[in-house]
Structure 1
Amino acid sequence: MGIGDLVGRVTGRGGPALDVAGATVVVTGAAGGMGEHIAKGFARRGADLAVVDRDEEGLARVVGEIEAETQVRVTSYVVDLADREAVTDLAARLRDGHPPVRVLVNNAGVALGGRFTEITEDEFDWLLEVNLHTPIRLTRALLPIMLENGEGQVVNLSSLFGILGVPGQTAYSTSKFGLRGFNEALRNELSAEDCSVGVTSVHPGGIATNIAKNARTGSGVDPAEAEQGKRKFDKVLRYPAAKAGEEIVQAALARRSRLLIGMDARALDALVRATPSSYWSYLGPVMDRAGR
């Protein structure tokens, strides 16, 4: 093992910096929030873009702003990532239409409030389709291109809720823990193959996006309780989405294996490591007070 390899193991960096100028970067959930800023960050670095979202109007706005500020080529795909057939078609179009794909950022995600007993199987499956199955399908479609081209990075957004389990977020935590496990296992498989394709697992804390406001609630959740829960979570979403997006771009280019965004994510990651069986006895009352 060389010095560079040792430094990479210790720091979580996976080799020389990735150059995306003239290559293609795929970003899902690009019509707003972190996804918008991730796409713009890669565009500023000369990458052509394939951007995906179900919000046609928002996606058109982002594409227009990127085209006004840069000379890169931007292709947009309006797709509902909960539609398995549509995702299969999207994967084929991305694979066939963008041979120089160098980075895949699976940023799109949805939220579903409610305890396990308040959520139907269909509701649970809807969330898993968007948050877990779609990233895996797109990775399956595009990873072979990166391997054939000799370099690339898969960036999958897990969450702080992929580090700790929060009552009332059973479905969301399931999807994010699952994606975290996928990230780590795939990264170790690729590392064993000694290739220049890596995986970045991103764990944002409370980012100022509309995910809480746009969250669905389980059909068994009391409406008043659902609104209270949304307000509580919205209060802790304060970290600027633009700053988070830039951190994700930098982590991908540096081939980092893991990125915690925000002091809350770093502090709670440490708490869970220190008290894996009892962290909620400390954290639960704190979150209740913060949401009042």
Structure 2
Amino acid sequence: MAIVTGGASGIGRALATALVRRGGTVAVADLDGEAAERVAEELRRRGPGHAEAVPLDVRDAAAVAAAYRRVRDEHGRLDLVFNNAGIAVGGLVDELTLDHWNRTIDVNLRGVVHGVQAAYPLLLDQGFGHIVNTASLAGLLPAPLMAPYTATKHAVVGLSLALRAEAAPRGVRVSVVCPGFVDTPLLDRVNAGLPDTPASRSTRQQVRRVQPRLYSADRLAEDVLRGVARNRAVIVAPASARLAARLTRLAPAAVVTAAGIQVRRYLRERAVARAAEARPGG
């Protein structure tokens, strides 16, 4: 039995699909309850496993705890918990507001904390289970132009590794997923419901300069499930992301310098665009 938050789209949907394809039973949890039900219905048709929809706002700790416990009670066990729900925020720090920071912390960090707080006691009680938290490659290196996102993903990595050390002697496994850029709707929803920034209006353009070939969510889901089966502490994909993570460990100062070069290029291009807009007829 598995729970996947953010399961109605992107990485979460791909994970739920892969699990059902393997014959598993999955609770597809998502803020958009109607979308979660559509995904669950589609997965039930495909089989051979089973899926059910769970409307859930991961910012609501009580709701997360109730949903996880209900799933465990109805199915008698809880094997896999994917705390995957997240949002994307982009822009220079001086362009962002506290609303950007608070929303990102509430979903990307507190949402994972709420999932851990809800699942961990259940898994300890049954003596087994695996918590898989979705972070990002941005949680392993200094990713600019999205500082709130980067900060929360670093926090999720730290939380996951600390919990892994505590949980292992008690029979519970913990992993953290750190993907590079994945081709999901999240790239088109940067700063959704928040003040726009120039960076959020050109996200895919900026992303392709860093990673020309976006990874597919389906391929990532296979990587994640393979890593879970092998009880990997940190699951990084694709290969380009593993290389970037390795370079950060070996030469952190050089990686920060490279990130600074990326920011300078972005600032130059933004200045050129503003100048063009200011010209008559621009």
TM range (shorter): 0.7 to 0.9
> Is 2:216 the partner of 1:240?
yes
Question: Where in structure 2 are the equivalents of 1:190-205 lying within 5 Å?
Answer: 190-191=167-168, 194-205=169-180
1:258 to 234, 244, 247: 234
Which residue is equivalent to 1:216? 191
**Distance in 2, Cα, partners of 1:214 & 1:220:** 12
Contact 1:118 1:221 in 2 (8 A): no
Give the aligned partner of residue 125 of structure 1. 102
Q: Which has the higher contact order (CA 8 A, sep 6+)?
A: 1
Counterpart of 2:8 (choices 31, 34, 52) is: 31
Are residues 230 and 166 of structure 1, via their aligned partners in 2, closer, same or farther at CA, if it must alter by over 3 Å? Answer: same
Partner of 2:23: 46
One of 120, 128, 140 as aligned partner of 1:151: 128
Residues 1:271 and 2:247 aligned together: yes
1:228 to 202, 226, 229: 202
Is 1:281 equivalent to 2:248 in the alignment? no
Residues 28-68 of structure 1, C-alpha deviations (whole Å, 9 max, x = no match)? 11112121121122222332211111233432232122111
Quote how far apart the aligned CAs of 1:26 are. 0.5
SS at match of 2:125: helix
Bigger helix fraction: 2
Name the amino acid aligned to 1:242. Answer: D
Counterparts of 1:174-185 in structure 2, within 5 Å, are: 174-185=151-162
Cα distance in 1, alignment partners of residues 242 and 145 from structure 2:
22
Q: Which residue is equivalent to 1:6? A: none
TM-score (norm 1): 0.81
One-letter identity of the residue aligned with 1:55: D
Question: Are the equivalent residues in 2 in contact too, given 1:271–1:279 (CA < 8 A)?
Answer: yes
Identical-residue share of aligned pairs (%): 28
Residues 169-200 of structure 1, C-alpha deviation per residue, up to 9 Å, x if partnerless? 11001110000000110001123xx2321111
Unaligned runs of 5+ in 2: 270-282
> In structure 2, which of residues 13, 36, 40 is the aligned counterpart of residue 59 of structure 1?
36
